[in-house]
Structure 1
Amino acid sequence: MTHLFDHRLETLVMVATTGSFTAAAQALYISQPAVSQQIRSLEMDLRLDLVVRQGKNVQLTPAARELVAYLRHQQVHHEQLLTKLRQEERGPLRLGATLSLSQLLLPPLLHRALKDGWQVNSQVANTGQLLTLIEQGSLDVALIEGNFNKKDFGTIELGTVPFVPVGGTDLPTTMTWEEVFHQPLLVREEGSGTRAILTAWLASHNYSLADFEQVITLNNPTTIINLLKEGSGVSFMYRDLVADDIDQRRLQDLNLPRFAVAHPLNLVYLKGSIRIKDYQRIAQILQRALGKQGQN
């Protein structure tokens, strides 16, 4: 991998990655004293404290953590620019999606990709995992519905979709929260966007997942939907995921007091990416797909 910045900054990033001067030295094929000297020199030039030594390990200061995050972003942009300059920009687009959105939006996008001859490598993970992969440069762009820090990423909002409580047809259509809390809650794992949306709404109304008598965590929305059909509890999800089941009376959306949520879906990428025109084209395809689903 080529490096755009001062070798001392490269050393700082390696210290952050490995957690010690010794491991950083081994990774960079230099001596441990050389690593120490470079960090001291960098601290003097920047007039910043960068590391706190804790035995054999080191901990970054807040200033160093912010600097390392910036340097990692710049390295990703550097590699993207070199790819473009080498006329390799038509390489595969590395696209991520959350599990929920992979079912809603990946099919129309991949259909268009096949039709137009695009090369796309897709990956499905939860919101937290996708954001990490973008930061690391392992993904170019991702479809995300969860909450995230927008100052760290570029975003294109695709639209909003209803986020609703869902249960089997054996349940009353209208329920109180006290009645719902007696039902088993089927919910996605930590890091998923749908779980974050639900917990944020509950917290804003002085509730929490702990108010449910039983919480079952599952990492697959299809499994949750199948359990709901068997009358195994309640869940909260995008209505478009279960629209056919609701129309066919296999499931129903529940009427709960004060719960009216429409959440934005976002196309997320690293700020400053050179592939922004590709992302804008993808966004247009997905916005049309969402519009068609909303009309059904």
Structure 2
Amino acid sequence: MFKFLETFMVVYRTHSFSLAAQQLFITQPTVSNQIKQLESQLHTELFERKSRRESVPTPAADILYKRSAKILDDWHDIHTEIVDLQASKKAHVRFGISQTISRILFAKIANQLNLTEPHINYDVTVSNSEGVLTQLEDYQIDLGIIEKPLVTEHVKRISIGKDQLVKAGTPTGTWITREAGSGIGYYTEQYFREADIQPIRLIHVNNSGLIRRIVSTGVGQALLSSRDVPENVQVETLGNTFIRDFYLLVRDEDLQVPLLTSVTELITQVSKKMTI
């Protein structure tokens, strides 16, 4: 049942059995069979097949989708509690972080966790800012740390620190930026608008480390955190307009969970030490 719900949620988001199969690394007939079994158990149709490539959710699917993420999260918690009970009884937190956070902040958080909260086990998933928010909404993670100012219902956004963006690289007319949904991509578009810049060539890269390496070769320019600029690369300060916040994301319902409250306080303390 739980596997069927996971498959259902991917089909619901993509409106496509074939795309869902690609994302889940299973065959399309397997996706179709799982959805059929779920429909059989619920005695209702979940998707209206418009074409071979498009499947439109029915009202019943809308209801199921709203509940599925919570059902799967509850199941994950039950599974985790049992595993922890059978193993070392250690606490467990699932982090989702953006790539910039992974490069300049999370290692310090991990070090502090190791020093002061060694009983806590944790997993870390790296994505772009919008991907982290989606994972939190879908109960795939417990806490998110991002740099894009996203707002959504039922998720608390807490500012935990500041970061200065700079323009780095050689002015060749080429710009390197991140994909849509990322913090760097968001602020790069903002800079283009404010500075009235029309790049001769725009290269999208979904990896911040690769952007740094490309910039270091002299190919072009990119917006980077002042803490993440390669050595010997030309830098231009952008001023207070491009001082951005780092944000901690937590679901409203989890604000009073003792474990997450403790970790949130630790993250805030570590971040405050990184003043610009």
TM-score for both structures, normalised by structure 2: 0.71
Instruction: Report deviation, 1:107.
Output: 0.9
Alignment of 1:215 with 2:202, yes or no, is yes
RMSD: 4.1
Indicate the residue corresponding to 2:57 in structure 1.
60
Unaligned runs of 5+ in 2: 18-28
- Give the secondary-structure state (helix, strand or coil) at the position aligned to 1:290: helix
For residue 224 of structure 1, report the CA deviation from its aligned partner: 2.5
Question: Equivalent residue for 1:195?
Answer: 185
Cα deviation for residue 81 of structure 1 reads: 5.8
Give the partner amino acid of 2:225. Answer: Y
Deviation at 1:54, TM superposition (A): 3.1
Pick closer, same or farther for the CA change 1:220–1:15 going to 2, 3 Å.
closer
Check the 8 A contact 2:97/2:145 in 1, yes or no: yes
Question: Which deviates more, 79-88 or 113-122?
Answer: 79-88
Q: What's the CA shift for 1:213?
A: 0.4
- Please name the residue that 1:279 is paired with: 260
Displacement of 1:102 after TM fit?
A: 0.6
Which moves more between the two structures, 233-242 or 218-227? 218-227
Tell whether the 8 Å contact from 1:96 to 1:130 is kept in structure 2 after alignment. yes
Structure 2: how far apart are the matches of 1:148 and 1:124?
17
Could you list the per-position Cα deviations for residues 120-165 of structure 1 after superposition, in whole angstroms to 9, with x for gaps in the alignment?
Answer: 1122222233233333333222211124332253332212222222
- How far apart, in 2, do the equivalents of 1:102 and 1:215 lie? 24
**Counterpart for residue 211 of structure 2:** 224
SS in 1 for 2:275: helix
Q: Which deviations, in whole Å up to 9, do the C-alpha atoms of 1:34-90 show, x marking residues without a partner?
A: 578535xxxxxxxxxx865636875126x6676444213432453366468767584
Offset of 1:184 from its aligned partner? Answer: 1.5
Residue of structure 2 equivalent to 1:126: 128
Size of the aligned set, in residue pairs, is: 256
Q: Which residue of 1 aligns with 2:175?
A: 185
User: Sequence identity of aligned pairs in percent?
Assistant: 16
Instruction: Report how far residue 275 of structure 1 moved.
Output: 7.2
**Does 2:143 align with 1:153?**
no
Choose the corresponding residue for 2:245, options 260, 264, 269.
Answer: 264
Q: Tell me, what secondary structure is at the counterpart of 1:137?
A: coil
Cα contact 1:108–1:286 (8 A) shared by 2? no
Gaps of 5+ in 1: 3-8, 40-49, 169-179
The alignment status of 1:100 with 2:65, answered yes or no, reads no
Q: Which has the larger radius of gyration?
A: 1
Match for residue 227 of structure 2?
240
Confirm or deny: 8 A CA contact 2:99 2:127 kept in the other structure.
Answer: yes
**Which moves more between the two structures, 86-95 or 112-121?**
86-95
Decide which of 71, 76, 79 is 1:75's aligned counterpart: 71
Deviates more, 1:127-136 or 1:183-192: 127-136
- Counterpart of 2:23? none
Distance 1:260 1:19, change over 3 A: closer
Residue matched to 1:165:
167
Does the Cα contact within 8 Å between 1:147 and 1:197 map onto a contact in 2? Answer: no
Q: What is the TM-score normalised by the length of structure 1?
A: 0.67
Provide the residue aligned with 1:177 in structure 2: none
Mapped contact 2:92–2:121 kept (Cα < 8 A): yes
Is the contact made by 1:158 and 1:283 (CA closer than 8 Å) also made in structure 2?
Answer: no
Q: 1:70 to 1:270 in 2, by over 3 A?
A: farther
Once residues 201 and 51 of structure 2 are traced to their aligned partners in structure 1, the CA distance between those partners, rounded to angstroms, is 44
Counterpart-to-counterpart distance in 2, 1:287 and 1:274? 14
Return the letter of the residue paired with 2:178: R
Aligned residue among 38, 45, 49 for 2:44: 38
Indicate which of 136, 139, 143 corresponds to 2:141: 139
